[in-house]
Structures are given as structure tokens and as C-alpha cells.
Amino acid sequence: MAYPLPEGVLPDAVALRRALAQGALSARAALESCFAAIDRANGILNAVVYQDRAGARAVADACDAAPAPIGPLHGVPVTVKECFDWHGHPTTWGDPARTDDIAAEDSAVVAALKRAGGVILGKTNIPPYLSDWETANPLFGATRNPHDPKRSAGGSSGGSAAAVASGMSYIDIGSDQGGSIRLPAHNCGVHGLKPSWGWISLRGHSPLGELREPDIGAAGPLARSARDAALVYSVLSGDAGEAAVDIEELRIALLPDLPGCPVDDCYRTAIEMFACRLRCAGAEVAETAPEIDFTRATELMNLLVRAETARKAELAAEFRARQGADAPAGAYAALNERGNALSHRDWLVLHEERLQLCRKLKGFFADSDLLLCPAAAGAAAPLRPDCDVTARTVVVNGREEPILKQHMLHMLGSLCYLPAHVMPIGGLPSGLPLGIQLIGALGQDHKVLAAAEAFGRLECDE
């Protein structure tokens, strides 16, 4: 379900690079088309919350004047999630108290984009301290879904996905610990890669200025095509390798229904139709799952995520107090508090449990090339930015279900460090898009992306 791109915006960055190389388009013209898209739609969608038009125009003009391409993203207009440091520009984390925080240096991903010739035009919206699957904050407001402004763009990379889907940017760089790239990609109908952990640096992505690389968290691209995601993955990771897949030789596992996370019947039907297309193309597709306790593994993921973000949680709590918001309550909030307070010894015990799961997943992917998994419980939910995430629900088959049950669907990629790519597979009659996760073995990011590109061509051939 492609969002209609405005006039002058090409389908993806690879097509743009070809047009630039052929002299059919200038980098400046491509940039101005994105600015026109922002002027047309951002008042409604509120995806891009900071712009440097003068700086971007200067970079685009330098690309046009260069005697040879600067790099693989030469002249491509890009944005970055607001929480990534960009030298000389604010990094607020969605907190009004940080409006004067100006980055002293570039984050690793911004530096990589610049080296590759990308034209960074601005930053995209986030929830405060990335602490929600909804994208809204008191500094910039709420981001809306391009396919239906009454619906959620997802979070925490909701501004990223909405900007790419609506033509405001060709590429955005998001971050993901528990689905924060994958859910927005699903909601907005774009591609989103949560790469193998550690393959792309998150330096310059900390409200505390930490130098260490965080556990579980990953930076990755949101794009309009799998080939764009593969291009940007290579730029950010420094891994220029490629992979080719033959659909007829793929052994694909299809995740069955999980008791702890119901999926809407309409979405499940779309997934089954997608699996049928793969079978018709010659792939071996069988409904199967890793032999693990998904409920316990999801609890384990949440504990380790909260241990990782414990210091940031203190900032978020102080932020909520300034906003006069009540502290989260209930079972999920209690689990968070338990994770925030883990001792190092207890963390080591949980980490050992994680490594045992990683070993099981390694065995699973020895027999399966990919695991197909829902990216959410259903299509994008109604926008509810004022409802705390621990109390928010989504309607699944006519019943209200806690939105946080969806963590079970994102757990494998997060907890076990695996590459997980969301790609669009169609949509509902209402126009809301649907996506699916392609999960692969650790380090097999290029293979996952090559499969997504091959699967996308199947859809186009129908």
C-alpha cells in the first residue's frame, strides 16, 4: 500500500541515484522536491520537526558541482531520528528542557551519511526519551500516519517512517530496541531494518552522552525499498558485501499463532496469502517456530532492555514529574522497575539465559533460511498519544488487547541480536498498510535484505 508520492519525488533512492548519474535530475532539484513534500504534508503529519534548509541546499549544490560522486548516497536527501547527534544542531530527546542542547559532534550514523554524500535536511519526531510506541511529545506534538491521520505512525521511530512514506525524505535512520523501527515501518507501509546487534554503531545516541555501545539497541534504515535499505545498511555498517537468493531454494519458517499474542484475522489472512505467493514461486514454506518459551523469552527481553535503559529511565521519570504525569502502574510497569533495579550479578544470570536462547536460534536457522513473523497484532491503531503505553490497548478480532503484548513479536530480533526486516505485503480495504518481519540468522543481514528485494519483485509481477 504505497503512499502517493508528491510530484518530483522518485520511488526510491536507487532510482534517484540513477537519475542523478544520468544528469536527468540535480541534487538540488531532488532536495527541493522533498521540501515541497514537507510544505504540503508536514502540517498534518508532523513527521519532520527540525530542518536546516540552508545547510542542506549548500550540500546539494556541492554535490552538483562535484566532478565525481562523493559516495554511494551522493545527492540523496535524508533525515535522521531526532535522538541522533548532528553537529551544530539540537538533540532534545523530545524534552522541552533540552531545547538548547546543541550537539558538539556527529553521531556515528550522521558521520557515515555525510561521508557517503547524503544531504541531511532535518530530523524526525520521537516520543520523549524513546519511551513509547506512540510518537508524540510536548515539544513537537504528535506524528500522524500518512495513510490515515487518525491512526498511529508507531514509535519510537514514527517520525522516521512517516517522513519516508510521504516523500519528505528518501531515507531516514531510526533506532530499535523492542520494535521501534519495525512497528513504524509496518504502520506506515515502508521498509525498516533492525540489523544484527553491533553491526552499526550507536555512538552519539545517548541523552547521557555515554561512550559505550548499548545492549540490544540497534540503528537501522527506514526506506521505500529493500534495495535502499541494503544500500544504507552497507553505508552505516561498512559491510559492502552482497547476497543473492534463489526463492526456489529458500527454506522459510512461518511463525504460527502464539497464545500470548493474538493477531487480527484480517492480518493473518494477508500473511497466509503472502506465504502462498512464496510457495507458488518455489519456496519451501512450513509453519514452525523455534522451540523456546516465548512468554519467558519476552519477559527476559523486557528485563534486559530495562536494565540497559535504567539510567535513561531516571531522565524519563524526571520528565514525567515535570509534566505532572502519573507514574506508570500495573504488571508491565512492575516488570520495568524490576529490570531497572537489576544487580550486575542478576544481569549476568539473565544474560546467560539469553545466550542459551541464542544457541537454540542458531540451531533453528541451520534448518531454516528465514522466519516470517507478524510485525504487530494488526494494522495501525488509532492515535492515542495521551494514553500511557502500559495502559494502551489495540483491537484484535473485536477485543481490546494490551498493546504491549506485541513485544512477543519483536522479541527474537531484539533479545537474540538477530537481523529483522519489515517489508510491506499489501493492506486492508481501508487503505492501511500491512507488513511482515523477515528474521534471519545473526550476521545474515544482506541475505535478509536480498530476500526482501526478491519477495518485493514477486509482488510487482502479479
Residue with cell 526519551: 129
CB neighbour list of residue 191: distance below 8 Å, 6 or more residues apart: 185, 221, 222, 223, 224, 225, 226, 228, 229, 421, 422, 423, 424, 452
CB neighbour list of residue 30: distance below 8 Å, 6 or more residues apart: 8, 10, 16, 19, 20, 60, 75, 76, 77, 170
Among the listed residues 180, 201, 206, 368, the single catalytic one is 180
Among the listed residues 33, 107, 156, 157, the single catalytic one is 156
Does residue 180 have an active-site annotation? yes
Does residue 156 have an active-site annotation? yes
Could you tell me if residue 140 is left (phi over 0), alpha (psi between -120 and 50 degrees) or otherwise beta? Answer: alpha
Does residue 194 have an active-site annotation? no
CB neighbour list of residue 132: distance below 8 Å, 6 or more residues apart: 155, 156, 389
Question: CA of 181: how far to CAs of 28, 77, 127, 143, 414, in Å?
Answer: 29, 20, 13, 15, 11
First to last CA, the chain: 14
Q: Return the closest-CA partner of residue 80 out of 44, 61, 52.
A: 52
Among the listed residues 33, 81, 131, 194, the single catalytic one is 81
Three-state secondary structure of 122-133: EEECCCHHHCCC
Q: Return the closest-CA partner of residue 388 out of 458, 460, 459, 333.
A: 333
* Distance separating alpha carbons of residues 160 and 81, to the nearest angstrom: 6
Q: What DSSP character marks residue 368?
A: -
Burial of 244 (0-12, 13-18, 19+ CB in 10 A): exposed
* Distance separating alpha carbons of residues 382 and 375, to the nearest angstrom: 17
- Residue 68 backbone dihedrals phi, psi, to 5 degrees: -150, 160
Residues taking part in catalysis: 81, 156, 180
